[in-house]
Structure 1
Amino acid sequence: MKVESTARKLIWSTVKLIQDYHSKTKEDSTVESVQYLLYALLEVVSKLYLPIIKNNSLLQTRSQDIIDHFFELLNKHGHLERSVLFYSDQLHLSPQYLSSLIKKETGKPIKQWISYRVIKQAEELLKTTSLSIKEISNQLQFVDSSLFCRYFRRCTGITANTYRENYKIKK
């Protein structure tokens, strides 16, 4: 971070003032006075650096922290946990608040993100294993394979078998 030379001079002149004041004053109130001068110095430094920090996106908002944590949880548990309630419990938020925050910040509903993660895992299993559809369904913790097949088709527009066959042809 590069701070203008006038700003640098202002900071150093404030530091020099504190040093001079402390070395030349031998009163009882010196400690308090030096503390107030240090507060003034911190104020100057924060006003100079805060715009630079904000422009470099080094400060994150609480909303961004929640979203980052949600996506960490989704990457870790998304192929098994399809409930908004699970993620909201993990983040100690209400399901409604988490849903609205995700929608507001990403432009997509939370259930769409969860479905995306489940489908990516299913696609990976279809491409890289010889597991049956029923075994994949069980591994992804669907109640039965017909539910998994409907879910897969609703999300992708094709059946799981068709997806597997298309992948084999392209390969």
Structure 2
Amino acid sequence: MKTKKPETLTFERMTELFYNDSAGQSEKVLLGKEMSIIFDVGVGVRRVLQEGMLLQMLDYRCGFIRRGWVRAKINLVEYTIGIGTLAFLTPGSIVEPLEYSADFALEGMAVSAELVHLSLNNHLPRIFNGHKTDGRMRVSEETCDIVDRMLRLLFDVSHKARHDNQVVLNLVAAYLNFFDQQFAEGTEMSVGRNANERFLFERFIYLVNNYSGREHHLDFYAGKMCITVRYLSTMIRKASGVTAKEWLDRALVTQAKVMLSYSSRNVAQIADELNFPNASFFCKYFKRLAGCTPQQYRAAR
């Protein structure tokens, strides 16, 4: 049974993992309190593997694999990701690197939730509005080159002693929206056909991500949004093709799976922490949605 506890990858911890006084490092890494840009994430991955770390993200991350490949567990699912792959992670994602090629290199940006909302004027792109926790997609070499140039422009502007903060925000927004465009074109991500549907969906998912561990009933979320449960259910189904209750169940079961996989809490403790009336009720709920009991799920990890 795995009981390794995830370590929160703060911007301060990133500094420890990626900063190196050796030659040329300042040209590959920009580390700040709200945003970091790194042109060779392989350096940090090697240290993570050496220390056997399990990382939980607090921020948004977007990047692409420039060379080689990496095998990792991302939100409990194992992937092998190779050259030319765009990838993103949202806050709360858990990553466990397992293996990588000798030439592995990934470049990308980590940006705080506050800066994302500020740069996008609180209107998150579809890939960041909560209906997906992570994503990967193979793209052309030309697309990778565009992402690289956008990232380097942002890096250069941010490095200037006197840069215009609004310029940086605009470049962050352009980078994030470009990622969203690529995933929207390459996958089925139809969420809301009009502004009102998308706004309600994004607001609902935001609330679910923040409260699902304690609040299991739709009337709580409808109340927060000042609408009826019936209207909420209708609009979420219309916007996403999935019922509001299904979104809530998905979020709750995902939290339970993370706790079963990466903590030593017993089932009763998890049930209590997730605000179930008792362990028996939690076990029945989990089995109905996951297809196995919590104990069986934990034993299989």
Q: Give the TM-score taking structure 1 as reference length.
A: 0.62
* Equivalent position of 1:163 in the other structure: 297
1:27-58 alpha-carbon deviations (Å, 9 max, x no partner): xxxxxxxxxxxxxxxxxxxxxxxxxxxxx9xx
Runs (5+) with no aligned partner, structure 2: 1-180, 182-193
2:283 counterpart of 1:149: yes
Report how far residue 99 of structure 1 moved.
Answer: 0.3
Paired residue for 2:62?
A: none
Once residues 212 and 273 of structure 2 are traced to their aligned partners in structure 1, the CA distance between those partners, rounded to angstroms, is: 13
Matched to 2:256, the amino acid is A
Tell me the secondary structure at the aligned position of residue 222 of structure 2.
helix
Q: 2:205 aligns with which of 71, 79, 90?
A: 71
The list of structure 1 runs, each at least 4 consecutive aligned residues, that deviate by more than 2 angstroms after superposition, is none
Distance 2:195 2:243 in 1: 20
Match of 1:19 in 2: none
Is the CA contact (8 Å cut-off) linking 1:80 and 1:118 kept in structure 2?
A: no
Q: Which range moved further: 97-106 or 145-154?
A: 97-106
Q: Given the alignment of the two structures, is residue 62 of structure 1 paired with residue 196 of structure 2, yes or no?
A: yes
Instruction: Tell me how far apart the structure 2 counterparts of residues 80 and 115 of structure 1 sit (CA, whole Å).
Output: 12
Contact 1:70 1:87 in 2 (8 A): yes
Contact kept in structure 2, 1:78 and 1:118, CA below 8 Å: yes
The structural deviation recorded for 1:94 is 0.5
Matches of 1:112 and 1:86, distance apart in 2: 15
1:82: Cα distance to partner? 1.0
Structure number, greater radius of gyration: 1
Distance 1:120 1:68 in 2: 19
String of CA shifts for 1:2-50, please: whole Å, max 9, x gaps: xxxxxxxxxxxxxxxxxxxxxxxxxxxxxxxxxxxxxxxxxxxxxxxxx
1:89 and 2:217 matched: no
Give 1:127 shift.
Answer: 0.6
Root-mean-square deviation (CA), in Å? Answer: 1.5
Partner residue in 2 for 1:113: 247
> Alpha-carbon deviation of 1:102?
0.6
Hey, what's the Cα distance between the residues in 2 that align with 1:82 and 1:144?
14
- The runs of 5 or more residues in structure 1 that have no matched partner are 1-55
Partner Cα separation in structure 1 for residue 292 and residue 214 of structure 2: 21
Offset of residue 80 of structure 1: 1.5
Q: Which residue does 2:19 correspond to in 1?
A: none
Whole-Å Cα distance in 2 between the matches of residues 160 and 102 of structure 1? 29
Aligned to 1:14: none
Which residue in 1 is equivalent to 2:264? 130
Cα deviation 1:83-123 (Å, max 9, x = unaligned): 11000000000000000111111111111110101100000
Percent identity over the alignment? 28
> Which position in structure 2 is the counterpart of 1:98?
232
- The one-letter code sitting in structure 1 at the alignment partner of 2:252 is V
> Which structure has the higher relative contact order (CA within 8 Å, separation 6+)?
2
What is the number of equivalent residue pairs in this alignment? 110
